[in-house]
Amino acid sequence: MDKGPTDKNRLEEGMVTDFEKDMSYGDYLHLNQILSSQHLLSGHHDEMLFIIIHQTSELWMKLILHELTAATDNIKAGRLEPSFKMLSRVSRIQQQLVQSWNVLSTLTPSDYMEFREKLGNSSGFQSFQNRLIEFAMGQKNTQILTVFRHQPELYETMMVNLNKPSIYDAAIGALAARGLPVDESVLKRDWSETYRINASVESAWLTVYRDVHKYWDLYELAEKLLDIGSQQQFWRFHHMSTVERIIGQRMGTGGSSGVSYLKKVVDQPFFPELWTLRTKL
């Protein structure tokens, strides 16, 4: 005879089970929409892996942008300490993204070739959120905007962000606000251009690193920035090595040279003076 649920399986008294009128976990997270957004174009088993890796990466990127925007606003307002938590979170998210390449690397070249042609010209190169992260970290590229011309609203968003100061521009502004000499040309530069190394900025950071007790908050800011800059480079490197493992030296689906292009990107560091000062300390 069935004796019903055991004590271990019985729900605790008071646990809500009727969601006819109340919001449930799935309702709050819109799981119906999220979990029904994996539309395979082939019958191959591993295409599900390929789609979910990229979709989850885009969700993590959305959170990175959320944190970078708030951190930048805090730094501009002179509130450095709240930005530290946000930048630490960005670094942890980037570690998740690096790990995602390890999962994707289980996709073998033979398996990928079973559905690669179904991708058409779509490519990770076209990830607008990845471009916005690069913009937010100081690497701007006007030419990349042509990829988004077919989406006027998105194109406008990209243009707005291209012309905003990056988080590194905000950090340099914080140096100047503390009385450290920074060239006026840096403080009033064209924000749409990729940041270029500047001797006065390097000198200001050197002052911070040589007197960390006096400039502890600026020193910590620099180290937090270096963390996210390093993690972004790790992500790029793992991206490149995963692509090479799967497609070798083939062209990318979006028309790029593939691995050769990704190798060039790996050689473009963020926050250059935070690297060069280490040689001069």
Annotated binding site for substrate: 50-54, 112, 116, 253
Give residue 78's identity as a one-letter amino acid code: G
Q: Which residues contact 91 (CB under 8 A, 6 or more apart)?
A: 224, 227, 228, 231
Residue list, annotated binding site? 50-54, 112, 116, 239, 253
Give residue 150's identity as a one-letter amino acid code: H
DSSP codes, 197-214: --HHHHHHHHHHHH-TTT
Give strand ranges (E) for 176-262. Answer: none
Q: Which residues contact 269 (CB under 8 A, 6 or more apart)?
A: 229, 233, 275
What DSSP element (H or E) covers 85? helix 80-104
DSSP code of 24?
-
Contact status, residue 55 vs residue 124, Cβ threshold 8 Å: no
Q: Which residues contact 87 (CB under 8 A, 6 or more apart)?
A: 67, 71, 224, 225, 227, 228
Task: Give the C-alpha separation, 262 to 192, whole Å.
Answer: 23
Residue list, annotated binding site for heme? 239
**Within 10 Å of residue 41's Cβ, how many Cβ atoms?**
12
Q: Identify which of 161, 168, 167 has the alpha carbon closest to the alpha carbon of residue 141.
A: 161
**Within 10 Å of residue 143's Cβ, how many Cβ atoms?**
6
Task: Give the C-alpha separation, 11 to 40, whole Å.
Answer: 38
Give residue 133's identity as a one-letter amino acid code: I
